[in-house]
């Protein structure tokens, strides 16, 4: 468990550093390209490198401190109080006590789909979100199973990594899309009078272009790497808190096939308990990078747990 938390922290730092390098590299390559275009040596490249690095550092800090709010506004979640829904409130409070962690804030998304998510940078700033459909359709034992699953994500620092990725990977995707267009459409304006701007900068440009073309793939792979095993881990440690794996198994059974949430997109999909992207919105290609393990396998493992010895 502690090993997993350590790994999540290390991965978060690694991703932030990777992001810094990536953005700085892109800035530098764009600078090189401009140097080449305007026939100057190293003016734009140094300027843009510094500029990109500054932006990347600011983005990294912002993603650490504010990405939970971004996630909440992206999914259009709103906070719910004890008076409004005492059932959920007491369940979350009780299960956080059982898990030995501070009580997270509770949010709700007005959506008929059955799903739940967790976000926040650490357990002290944890947030759990449910869809209205989930709260209405699950019985107490099932809902407890889902809450315990989300609490485990918070306790394991899965949420830090997951939430930081939303912003940073999202940025990489946006930046690379912009640059790709710049290269494709900007290329035409290249003056024919300038030839042989240095073979080295041409090679660097090609490397930059390849990197940019690959970036959506890199983003997808990162998301894939963080998302699958930790669902199994959250399932089992959640079941340890409720002492009732069958509750979550039955909840997943209900959620299966009805988990589509309208406000979720590919940037936030991995935060949810079950894949929130509806089948009709899912492209062929995206299936390759599915963010969640198959529900059947999760249910199977939970059922094995409840058959197993005592604990």
Partner 1 sequence: MTGIIVLIVILAAIAVAILAIAVGYYNAIVSTRNKVDNAWHQIDVQLRKRYDLIPNLVETVKGYAAHERETLRKVVEARNFGINAQSVKEQQDAENMLTGTLKSLFALSERYPNLKADQHFSRLMEQLNGIESNIAYARQFYNDMVMKYNTRIQTFPGKLFASMFNFSGRDYFEIEEESARRPVKVEF
- Residues lying near partner 1 in the complex (CB under 8 A): 86, 89-90, 93-95, 97-100, 243
How far is Cα 274 from Cα 117, in angstroms, rounded to an integer?
A: 9
- Output the smallest distance, CB 89 to partner 1, in A: 8
Q: Is 150 an active-site residue? A: yes
Which of 123, 173, 179 has the alpha carbon at shortest distance from 8? 123
CA distances from 23 to 27, 126, 182, 211 (A): 6, 29, 16, 11
Closer of 3 and 283 to partner 1 (Cβ): 3
- Output the smallest distance, CB 182 to partner 1, in A: 55
How far is Cα 300 from Cα 256, in angstroms, rounded to an integer?
A: 13
- Output the smallest distance, CB 242 to partner 1, in A: 10
Q: Sign of the C-alpha dihedral, residues 162, 142, 95, 131?
A: positive
Of 150, 231, 296, 297, which one is the catalytic site residue?
Answer: 150
Closer of 115 and 237 to partner 1 (Cβ): 237
- Tokens (6 digits) for 154: 């918070």
- What is residue 130's three-state secondary structure? strand
Closer of 99 and 220 to partner 1 (Cβ): 99
Closer of 106 and 161 to partner 1 (Cβ): 106
- Tokens (6 digits) for 245: 């794996």
- Output the smallest distance, CB 94 to partner 1, in A: 4
Helices 2-38 + 158-186 axis angle, to 10: 20
Closer of 167 and 241 to partner 1 (Cβ): 241
- Output the smallest distance, CB 101 to partner 1, in A: 10
Closer of 63 and 237 to partner 1 (Cβ): 237
Question: Are the beta carbons of 231 and 298 closer than 8 angstroms?
Answer: yes
- Output the smallest distance, CB 149 to partner 1, in A: 16
Hey, which bits of the chain come out as E strands? 77-79, 105-109, 116-119, 127-131
How far is Cα 273 from Cα 113, in angstroms, rounded to an integer?
A: 12
How far is Cα 244 from Cα 160, in angstroms, rounded to an integer?
A: 27
Rg (CA), the chain: 23
Q: Which sequence positions are flagged as catalytic?
A: 150
């Amino acid at each position: 468990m502690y090993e997993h938390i350590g790994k999540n922290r290390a991965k978060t730092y690694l991703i932030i550093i990777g992001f810094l390098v990536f953005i700085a590299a892109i800035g530098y390559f764009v600078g090189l390209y401009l140097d080449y275009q305007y026939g100057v040596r190293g003016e734009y490249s140094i300027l843009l490198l510094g500029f990109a690095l500054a932006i990347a550092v600011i983005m990294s800090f912002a993603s650490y401190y504010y990405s939970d709010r971004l996630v909440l506004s992206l999914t259009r979640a709103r906070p719910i109080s004890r008076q409004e829904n005492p059932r959920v409130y007491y369940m979350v409070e009780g299960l956080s006590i059982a898990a030995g962690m501070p009580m997270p804030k509770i949010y709700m998304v007005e959506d008929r789909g059955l799903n739940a998510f967790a976000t926040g940078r650490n357990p002290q700033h944890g947030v759990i979100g449910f869809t209205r459909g989930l709260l209405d359709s699950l019985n107490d034992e099932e809902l407890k199973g889902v809450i315990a699953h989300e609490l485990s994500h918070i306790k394991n620092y899965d949420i830090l990594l997951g939430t930081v990725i939303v912003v940073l990977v999202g940025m990489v995707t946006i930046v690379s899309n912009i640059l790709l267009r710049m290269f494709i459409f900007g290329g035409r304006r290249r003056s024919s009078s300038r030839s042989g701007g240095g073979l080295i900068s041409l090679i660097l440009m090609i490397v930059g272009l390849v990197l940019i073309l690959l970036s959506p793939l890199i983003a997808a792979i990162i998301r894939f790497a963080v998302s699958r095993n930790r669902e199994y881990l959250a399932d089992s440690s959640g079941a340890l808190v409720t002492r009732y794996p069958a509750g979550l198994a039955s909840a997943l059974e209900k959620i299966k096939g009805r988990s589509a949430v309208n406000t979720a997109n590919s940037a936030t999909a991995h935060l949810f308990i079950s894949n929130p992207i509806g089948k009709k919105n899912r492209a062929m290609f995206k299936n390759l990078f599915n963010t969640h393990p198959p529900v059947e396998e999760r249910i199977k493992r939970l059922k094995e747990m409840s058959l197993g010895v005592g604990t």
